[in-house]
Structure 1
Amino acid sequence: MNPEILRALAEPTRLRIVELLRNGPITVGEIASKLQIRQPQASKHLKVLNEAQIVDVDSVANRRFYKLRSQSLQEMDYWLSTFRSLWKNQYDELDEYLTQFQNQRSREE
């Protein structure tokens, strides 16, 4: 996985931008307004997201619409999926322990 993806998403404002873009393409102005930041700040964050290949930009007349790139998010999802089996095993072990604990307490009562 491209470590730039995680680096870019580690900044809270950029993560909030990605969450906004989940609903579809929007302009820099709309992002700035919804996050209550100045447009140059929004543009700076979008540049980082673009360089990390998390967003794409489409120009329509004099407006720039930003949208999520599914490929980068799929890459991150695949990377995270390699850890899911570890989590599942730990949850299964916890479930087994709790069941044994409850059974033992029931016998003691």
Structure 2
Amino acid sequence: MEYKIKSKIWIEVDGNVFLGDGRVKLLKSINTTKSLSKSAKELGISYKKAWILIESVNNNAIEPVVIKSVGGVSGGGTKLTPYGVKMIAVFETINVNSWKHLDKQVLKFL
């Protein structure tokens, strides 16, 4: 038998969610598609929900995570800032380290 402790990690700022699994998936998709609309579709969420999530991330960050540009001749787009890319890496590192720690803790009960 294999025992595992399962846990979800998210980061809050003043009681508001800053980053969690869903927001990080959205950020990673935006980094690939360069489009909030395409990312929302890819993740099966409404554009409005994706917009609200991104606004929340940006509002709770110390600097912009995502920059949106309005359409025009060449079309609009959405891209991650270098800080946004860093936040994805930080969140994923926290997750991996947390799971490793929890895996070690469960062994104490066997």
TM-score (norm 2): 0.51
Q: Is the 8 A contact 1:59 1:65 kept in 2?
A: yes
Distance 1:36 1:72, change over 3 A: closer
Query: Please, what is the CA RMSD of the aligned residues?
Result: 3.7
Q: 1:50 to 1:75 in 2, by over 3 A?
A: closer
The aligned runs of 1:1-109 (5 Å cut-off) are 4=13, 7-10=17-20, 12-23=21-32, 25-26=34-35, 28-51=36-59, 52=61, 53-61=64-72, 64-74=76-86
Query: Per-residue CA shift, 1:1-55, capped at 9, x if unaligned?
Result: xx75xx4222x221101111232521x3212100001111111111112322211
Q: CA deviation at 1:74?
A: 4.4
Unaligned runs of 5+ in 1: 79-86, 88-109
The one-letter code matched in structure 1 to 2:78 is Y
Which sections of structure 2, spanning at least 5 residues, go unmatched? 1-11, 91-96, 98-110
Query: Following the alignment from structure 2 to structure 1, what is the Cα–Cα distance between the partners of residues 70 and 45?
Result: 22
* Conserved? CA contact 1:13–1:45, under 8 Å: no
The sequence identity of aligned pairs, in percent, is: 15
Q: Report the TM-score, using the length of structure 1 for normalisation.
A: 0.52
Moved over 6 A (4+): 75-78
Q: Which has the higher helix share?
A: 1
Question: Distance between the aligned counterparts of 1:25 and 1:54, measured in 2?
Answer: 13
AA at the equivalent of 1:55:
V
